[in-house]
Chains A and B, each alone.
Chain A
Amino acid sequence: MKIHYGTALAAIALVAVHILMRLTQGFAESLEYDSVIANYKFLPYAGMLEIILILLSIHGFNGLRVILLELKQGRRYEKAVSYGCVAAMIALIAYGSRTIIMVNTGMT
């Protein structure tokens, strides 16, 4: 459970940085295509987005796992929920990372 608290606190700090960065640019302008691509190409910022993605995925899927474990109990069910959530978390991180990798490898 410490990982749940830790990811939440870290995500709050990094998402705050992310929002502040958007606000300095102007919110609507920051969502334009060129701005988004530029962000992904700027590696320190892309790295921070990647860390946010990982933190929120861990936090979110662990939270979902806990909710599901509370709804029903049983050894097989609990194992299935835990492994299912880890698999879904890895899939989401991979899908999110794919965007950053595609931009930086010139695939867009």
Chain B
Amino acid sequence: MAQTPTLAEESGTTPFSSSQSITLRIARYNPQHDSAKSFMEFQIPYEKWTTVLEAILEVKKHFDHSVAVRYSCRQATCGSCGMIINGKPRLACFTKISELNSNVITVEPMNNFPIIRDLAVKFERLFDTHHKIKPYLIRDDTEITTNTKEFLQSPEELEQYIQFSNCIKCGLCNSACPTMATDSSFVGPQALAQAYRYVADSRDKGKDNRLKIIDDSHGIWRCHFAGSCSQVCPKGVDPAMGIQLLRGYMLGFRS
């Protein structure tokens, strides 16, 4: 009878046979037991296509299965495996070891997120702020009640917001944001970029409502335009630009 593979024996993880190896430093921290973060080091062989996530899974498979990491799709679509890799917020599944040009790779949990354990962080704040800006089309009618079967848009209208709809809610932008580090009530670049995504959508009628939500003492004006959110986005979204364009709406330069 075939056995169901356990997490550490998934069919997708092939053993590496390369002569090259790196030192993988993994941050270990359990808020229930530990007072501070510590690092464990592992020697991991790698191929030129090996990703950081695969290296972490190699650790789980052969060295220490207790390393906590969140992952799912392994193709930069689900946004689960965000972490700080060699000091920069990145997706572990989207970062190849060979492109880091370092013999030592340090992985830590994302900044500005409470740590559950090791590399896994809580996403409540991100989801709360995302939900707060009403991330859906607001209008009274629907496609069902109108004569047209769908709300048509011109390519130019689509161009206004399409890059912002690529957001996978991985939280890397919030992790890189300096204001998120100091202001625990700040709505954050992810939610603001999504606010712009819907405000700029010609089908949406909830602009005033949404602008009112982000015109808060911990809303859009707290952004210092450091631009680090745009630097780290793995999907090419530019939240810093979205925030500036939203400010244009708020100051009456755009309508």
Contact = CB atoms under 8 A, between A and B. Distances in A.
Same complex for A and B? Answer yes
Interface of A: 1-2, 4-5, 66, 69-71, 73, 78
Interface in B183-206: 183-185
A1 B179 CA distance: 17
A54 B184 CA distance: 32
B88 interface: no
Given A2-B251, A5-B251, A70-B222, A78 B182 contact: no
A4 B215 CA distance: 14
A70 B182 contact: yes
Interface residues of B, number: 12
3 shortest interchain CB distances as A-B pairs: A1-B221, A70-B183, A73-B185
A2 B217 CA distance: 12
B125 interface: no
B218 interface: yes
9 contacts: A5-B251, A66-B221, A66-B222, A70-B179, A70-B183, A70-B222, A73-B183, A73-B184, A78-B217
Contacts of A78: 217
A56 B81 CA distance: 47
B113 to A, nearest CB: 17
B213 to A, nearest CB: 15
Contact of B182 (A1, A4, A5, A71): A71
Contacts of A5: 251
A2 to B, nearest CB: 7
Interface in B16-43: none
Given A2-B251, A5-B251, A73 B218 contact: yes
A78 B184 CA distance: 13
Contacts of A71: 182
A4 B221 CA distance: 10
